[in-house]
Structure formats: C-alpha cells, structure tokens
Amino acid sequence: MVVHHFIARRQIEWFALSIMSVIALGLVLSALTGDPRTMLVRDAWSGMLLGLAGVWMLASVMSGRRPVVMTMIRSFVITKSGPEGYAAWAVRWDEDPEFRHGIRVVTTVWGLATVLNAVVTLVLAYTMPIDAAPAVLNLTWPVILVPTLLFHLRYPKAENLRA
C-alpha cells in the first residue's frame, strides 16, 4: 500500500513508513542474534525508533512551523473529511492562534509519550531479570498509551481541533 501510494502519487506516507521501519528493524535484529537479552533490547530499540519520532515531534513544536502531527494525520483527516475538509482544516493553522496552540499541545503530549516509552523500555530491557522482563516490557506501552489516547480523545474535541 505504501509503495503503491508512492508510485501512483509520488507522495510518501511518513506515518506508514515509520511503522514499516520499526517492523523491519525488529526482523533484522531477530535474524542477527538469538541471545535473550538481545531480544529484549531489540524490542527496546524498536521502541527507540518511536522515541526518535517523539523527539522529532517535540522538535517540530519548538521549530515554530507546523508540527509534524499535522503531516502524520493527514491521511486520517482526508479519509474522514475529504481533500476539501483537509484543506479547510490545514488553513486553520494559518488563521487561528488557538488552533495552533492546541495542535502544539497534542504534538507535545504524543512526543513526550513516545520518548517516555522509549526510555522506560530501554532501561527495563537492561535492568529487569530476563524471565520477568517480557511481561513487564509488554505492559509499558499500554500503560503509557491508554492515558495518552484518553487525552487525545478528549482534548481535540474540547478544543475544537478535529477536522
């Protein structure tokens, strides 16, 4: 789908590409070693890619330009509202200071959540006993993701950020 979209429209879907990169990295690291600790670290490094995406999100907020979340969710907005709806939604960035603030808040929250997940996962992969680590590591992202999703379901609606 990502490759087809690129060939047909000459447009990269960055969100899909980042997900594919995480999966590819996990497959490569799995093929390189069979050591249990390395397998835990592999999961942590996959989380680190998401952490890098979080750093990218936070940097985009500080840059003063459009935060990366606006680019990442472009496909979702187009699917929901069509190209005209997306265009109207995107124009709000130029015209509405409250909208800009709200998008920056959403981007910051997602950036912090992904960076926190990466750091916690990496620390746990190196410090947890191998027999307990898989269970704990499988809980870190859901524990961080659930409140982040709850925030994301409420805040954009309350601040009229939706397309």
SS (H, E, C) 64-92: CCCCHHHHHCHHHHHHHHHHHHHHHHHHH
What pLDDT, on a 0 to 100 scale, did the predictor assign at position 31? Answer: 72
Helical (H) or strand (E) element with 161: none
Q: Which two tokens stand for residue 163?
A: 């397309």
Q: What share of the chain is helix, strand, coil (3-state, %, to 5)?
A: 85, 0, 15
Is residue 67 within 8 A of residue 104, CB to CB? The reply is yes
The sign of the torsion formed by the CA atoms of 160, 161, 162, 163 equals positive
The model carries a pTM of 0.75
pLDDT tens, residue order, the chain (163 aa): 666 766 777 766 666 776 777 667 666 766 776 666 666 766 666 677 778 888 889 999 998 888 988 888 888 889 889 999 999 998 999 999 999 999 999 999 999 999 999 889 888 888 888 888 888 888 888 999 999 999 999 999 999 998 7
Distance CA 86, CA 149 (A): 22
What pLDDT, on a 0 to 100 scale, did the predictor assign at position 75? Answer: 85
